[in-house]
Amino acid sequence: MTRPSLICFLGQNGNDEPKVFMRTLLYGTADQGQYIQNMFIRLHQADTIQNFNIWAYGDNGVVRGSGLFISKSGISLYHHFLLPKNGQWSFLPGDYKLEVFAETVNASAKKIFEQNLTLATEQANDIKQGKAVYFDWAPDTEKYVSYSDDRKYESKLSRSV
């Protein structure tokens, strides 16, 4: 997995539960490729750990993840991670550790990416007001730059899982 060019935190909005989505390239190192059976993220904040274990992906609409073939050349998609049914989560200000796990066929899930992110107090309040917080990778500074915005990406990527 390459470093995501975009990571986004979204709070509860209407019937949509809090979620995290990102844009990244998944690739395989084997010539024959590899099947991803499932993916999930683990979000650490202070003393709290929450798995977002419902995975969906896509560029033109979103489908529930139920297997994805990854060739050596890879595939670049938006990946959405939602809370389990009846799960609860609030994006509070502070430092976060985001871990991405992938499960291949006949194997246990392995961590394929980890990133520390910081959510400012103002950004946490923005999420409560229905905005999204985006973390854009800036290759010139080798850091994620965060900002709050309306749900412009979200409107293009309607939830249909």
Q: What is the pLDDT of residue 124?
A: 96
pTM of the model: 0.88
Per-residue confidence (pLDDT) for residue 123, from 0 to 100: 97
| Three-class secondary structure of residue 122 per DSSP | helix
Between the CA of residue 160 and those of 57, 64, 80, 103, 153, what are the distances in Å? 10, 8, 11, 22, 15
Question: Mean pLDDT in each 10-residue stretch from start to end of the chain (161 residues)?
Answer: 96 81 91 91 96 92 83 91 88 97 93 98 94 96 94 46 43
Q: Which domains does the chain have, with CATH numbers?
A: 6-155 (2.60.40)
